Amino acid sequence: MKKAFVKSYGCQMNVYDASRMVDLLGREGFVETGTVEEADVVVLNTCHIREKAAEKVYSELGRLRVLKGERAEAGQDTTVVVAGCVAQAEGREILNRAPGVDVVVGPQSYHRLPQLLAASKAGRVVDTEFPVEDKFDHLPARRTPGVSAFLTVQEGCDKFCAFCVVPYTRGAEVSRAVDKIVAEAERLAAAGARELTLIGQNVNAFHGPGPDGRDWTLGELLRRVAAIPGVLRLRYTTSHPRDMDEALIAAHRDLPALMPYLHLPVQSGSDRILAAMNRKHDADTYRRLIDRVRTARPDIALSSDFIVGFPGETDADHAETMRLIADIGFASAFSFKYSPRPGTPAAESEDAVPEAVKSERLAELQALLERQRQDFNHATVGRTVPVLLEKPGRHPGQVAGKSPYLQAVQIDGDVAAIGTVVPVRITRAGSNSLFGEAIGEAAAAATAAA
């Protein structure tokens, strides 16, 4: 039996692509392995968003070269594939820097992986094209999606934030057709998925052709997918503030299946920096937008991305970001030091913020965000929340799931309850998980066989 090891770095789009590559390799007779030493094919699905992420790939490729040599001595072939955004951005250059690599394939052409693997027997191959055919039409159906599954509805980005490589690595924005998305969602639900997260680099810019010949918005798409039997929960990510339209906000008000959680990156609270970043909105527009979302869905939990130390950022700019965080209150967040990326406009700037200042600002910002996260989690203690049970818990007799607010929850219960939503009274907040007990009939069902 041939074995494939697939490792993904970076965002949810890559997680989705990696799972599709596993399906594709499955069709070619490969079984997935978690042990790289026994893999005949190794795929690194790479991320180019920050320098650290991109450099990690090269150290991994160095280790793989050694492993490949050892396997060769034992008479075993190993094919090393670099996929994802580093593949797209650096292409042939990877072959020069990493002698062990056999195949370089970009995020828009990985459906050709079987042909590329075959071609690599004759020599190293690179495919970083943006082909005209729809890669999704060439991928096999997913067999075991899990209780919570990602579904790509849109790819690429036309926003061109000054710091970001995505418009270059993932290309222009493209939305999938509504009927294809609905068909994939129906297949996922039939295979046991209960929660679908519609994903895209700029998902709320979705404008896929609908069955009525019009382009649909994300709000309309969510309404349609919510009607699919078996789909209990919906989420979407990642969004841009400029594309939060009325229909999407109304979906948060009207659709019980749409979870009260919104990841809406703001990056900075300073108007000067937001303008320099080419974000096309100011801090007050973001505040007013959040007010409207909260009016539609008062219990919505908010999440965001922040960059500290963008070129030219002063202490006063940073203070504005801290003020915005304090004003809004986030349930969770991701925050990063600015990392100059080749080919982006901001990389040309000369007023770089010193590394030590970036570190200081990041620590201050993360301390506030962490306090807000802990406060949010502690506020759930004593409440009863519906939890979608997704997998066995950390210890035998425990089951793990998610609250509507994307908090990890552990309860005592039987794995037979996985895939159901049960009311759980939260009894304790740990640093990364909530703990609780299933109540009422659900408790009886959940613990019947435990």
Rule CB under 6 A: say whether 157 interacts with ligand SF4: yes
Round the CA-based radius of gyration of the chain to a whole number and report it: 23
Quick one: what does residue 167 bind among ligand SF4, ligand 5AD, none, with the CB cut-off 5 to 8 Å set by partner type?
ligand SF4
Nearest alpha-carbon partner for 175 in 144, 148, 202: 202
Q: Of 155 and 390, which CB lies nearer to ligand SF4 in the complex structure?
A: 155
Quick one: what does residue 159 bind among ligand 5AD, ligand SF4, none, with the CB cut-off 5 to 8 Å set by partner type?
ligand SF4
Q: Of 157 and 274, which CB lies nearer to ligand SF4 in the complex structure?
A: 157
Quick one: what does residue 4 bind among ligand SF4, ligand 5AD, none, with the CB cut-off 5 to 8 Å set by partner type?
none
Rule CB under 6 A: say whether 218 interacts with ligand SF4: no
Quick one: what does residue 341 bind among ligand 5AD, ligand SF4, none, with the CB cut-off 5 to 8 Å set by partner type?
ligand 5AD
Contact status, residue 369 vs residue 378, Cβ threshold 8 Å: no
Q: Is 208 annotated as a binding residue?
A: no
Rule CB under 6 A: say whether 161 interacts with ligand SF4: yes
Q: Is 399 annotated as a binding residue?
A: no
Rule CB under 6 A: say whether 152 interacts with ligand SF4: no
* Selected binder of ligand SF4 within 52, 121, 160, 343 (CB under 6 A): 160
Measured at the CA of 395, the angle between CA 393 and CA 401, to 5 degrees, comes to 15
Nearest alpha-carbon partner for 385 in 426, 420, 415: 426
Give the β-pairing of 384-392 and 421-429.
antiparallel
How many whole angstroms separate alpha carbon 439 and alpha carbon 421? Answer: 12
- Torsion sign over Cα 302, 308, 310, 316: positive
Beta strands, E only, 232-367: 233-237, 261-263, 301-308, 332-337
How many whole angstroms separate alpha carbon 391 and alpha carbon 34? Answer: 18
Beta strands, E only, 259-378: 261-263, 301-308, 332-337
- Count of C-beta atoms within a 10 Å radius of residue 224: 16
| Site residues for ligand 5AD per CB under 6 A | 49-50, 163-164, 265, 267, 305, 307, 336, 338-339, 341
* Selected binder of ligand SF4 within 45, 78, 169, 201 (CB under 6 A): 201
* Selected binder of ligand SF4 within 164, 226, 232, 399 (CB under 6 A): 164
Residue number with the smallest Cβ distance to ligand 5AD = 305
Quick one: what does residue 50 bind among ligand SF4, ligand 5AD, none, with the CB cut-off 5 to 8 Å set by partner type?
ligand 5AD
Question: Would you list which residues are annotated within the binding site for [4Fe-4S] cluster?
Answer: 11, 47, 85, 157, 161, 164
Point out which residues bind ligand SF4 (CB under 6 A): 157, 159-161, 164, 166-167, 201-202, 240
